[in-house]
Structure 1
Amino acid sequence: MPAEPARRPQAAPTSPAHSAAPRSVQGEVEVRRSARRRRTVSAYREDGRTVVLLPARMSEAEERRWVGLMLEKLARQEKRRRPTDEVLAERAGRLSAQYLGGRARPDSVRWVTNQNTRWGSCTPAEGSIRLSHRLQGMPEYVVDYVLLHELAHLLVPGHGPRFWELLEAYPRTERARGYLEGVAATARLPHTVDGDEDDEDESGGRAGG
């Protein structure tokens, strides 16, 4: 019988957990690994794709499982949330009543797609508030913080002590700021301190990068 042809050895596949590359892209899903993460997994929408944040040492099988779970979780959240302008305006009214004594009464609250370097903005002279569509899919407490931040600017235009005193009533202020700073750092968005341009506030570092 003729001898079998020699089989060429195949290199073992490289697991993302041990890959030197910090990121891997799976279609519309981008997986970003962090050595700082030990157990926590989170996900959010960004520029038409889903970003999943994982611990650096997680195995390839665990990555696939968690990506699937986070996609399902985001889909459920977004279905419940229905991020329309009407729902956002109702949400602003509830936050104003709960944390600002109902004193902040915007004339317009809406989602916009042209704010790629800031999470929210407020024009007190017009009573208008705009939130970046990039917030859609993030935890509700984060969206609430940015919305409350802009509501507070209807009462105090600047960022002095009086402004931050208004936000002290919201118990997740620091947690939300930390979340947004982490997202901004991972996406390499500019870090700027909140500043005013005449009567318009552009929420930056403190409201989310």
Structure 2
Amino acid sequence: MTEPSPQAGGPAAGDPMPVVVRRSARRRRTVSADVRNGTMIVSIPATFTQAQEKEWVARMVRKLQGRSAGQASDPAAADRALAQRAADLAGRYLGGRGIPGTIGWVTNQNSRWGSATPAHRSIRLSHKLRGMPDWVIDYVILHEMAHLIEPSHNRVFWSLLESYPDTEKAKAFLAGAAFAADHGLAGR
């Protein structure tokens, strides 16, 4: 991996968060971004041109800023956004069923992507999902909402997820992410 370099034209004017670009020889196609200690870290393949770097950094800055809007200063706003997302997904894929009473991000869930407590109609999502593609996060939300309808991983449970077109792809993505994390292959 090359040394991090500050990215000119990173955050919009007025946004104090600095952006650091990390080029990695191990990365071939993937781009990731996260926030560490108040700095946005964008990891890209070392082979990217300056134009590709500029395009992807701008894209990732927009994505992370959009996703984190309101989260740092108003965690309740983030939870309301998740609740709305869950309600939309339930309407589209679960016939309006499985809507949680509470849903939120947690930082103390390191071995699971999400968890549900049917008795309390609550869902918790691991902070490790942040920065993953929306279709993966949607799958985890749907998976946990399906547990509010059917607690066990039986045939009824899996039939609830059949209407979501990205179920198998998301399961494969999460399996790959878990394998990479377990084997120190984070790519940063």
Q: Common fold, TM-score beyond 0.5? A: yes
Label 1:32 to 1:94 Cα distance change in 2 as closer, same or farther (>3 A). Answer: farther
SS of alignment partner, residue 26 of structure 2: strand
Match of 1:11 in 2: none
Q: Shift of residue 94 of structure 1? A: 0.6
Amino acid corresponding to residue 169 of structure 1 in structure 2: S
Give the match for residue 163 of structure 2.
Answer: 169
Partner Cα distance (1:126, 1:77) in 2: 32
Deviation at 1:46, TM superposition (A): 7.7
Q: Of 43, 49, 60, which residue of structure 2 is paired with 1:52?
A: 43
The answer to whether the 8 A contact 1:30-1:50 is kept is no
Q: Unpaired segments of 5 or more residues in structure 1?
A: 1-22, 191-209
8 Å CA contact 1:121, 1:129 repeated in 2: yes
Q: 1:42: Cα distance to partner?
A: 3.0
| Partner residue in 2 for 1:26 | 4
C-alpha distance in 2, partners of 1:186/1:151? Answer: 26
Matching residue of 1:129? 123
Q: If the length of structure 1 is used for normalisation, what is the TM-score?
A: 0.64
Change (3 A) 1:156 1:117: same
Does the aligned pair in 2 maintain the 1:112–1:132 contact within 8 Å?
yes
Say whether residues 1:72 and 2:58 are aligned partners.
yes
CA distance in 2, matches of 1:88, 1:32: 36
User: Which structure has the greater CA radius of gyration?
Assistant: 1
**Higher-helix-fraction structure:** 2
Distance of 1:135 and 1:88 partners within structure 2: 13
Aligned mate of 1:94, from 88, 91, 94: 88
Query: Cα RMSD over matched residues?
Result: 2.8
| The 10-residue stretch of structure 1 (145-154 or 25-34) with the greater mean CA deviation from structure 2 | 25-34
C-alpha separation between the residues in 2 aligned to 1:138 and 1:160?
Answer: 27
- Give 2:30's aligned residue: 41
C-alpha spacing 1:65/1:114, structure 2 compared with 1 (3 Å):
farther
CA deviation after TM superposition for structure 1 residue 181, in Å: 2.0
Off by >6 Å, runs of 4+ in structure 1: 46-49
Alpha carbons of structure 1 residues 53 and 168: separation in structure 2 relative to 1, 3 Å: farther
Matched ranges for 1:146-157 at <5 A? 146-157=140-151
Partner Cα separation in structure 1 for residue 157 and residue 35 of structure 2: 29
The normalised TM-score by structure 2 is 0.71
Task: Provide, for residues 41-93 of structure 1, a one-character-per-residue CA deviation record: whole Å limited to 9, x for no partner.
Answer: 33243876747364xxx63xx27665554332222112333351110010001
Identical columns (%): 42
SS at match of 2:99: coil
- Specify which of 182, 187, 190 is matched with residue 181 of structure 2: 187
Q: Which amino acid aligns with 1:78?
A: L
Q: Is the 8 A contact 2:114 2:124 kept in 1?
A: yes
Q: SS where residue 85 of structure 2 aligns? A: helix
SS at 1:45 equivalent: strand
Contact 1:47 1:134 in 2 (8 A): no
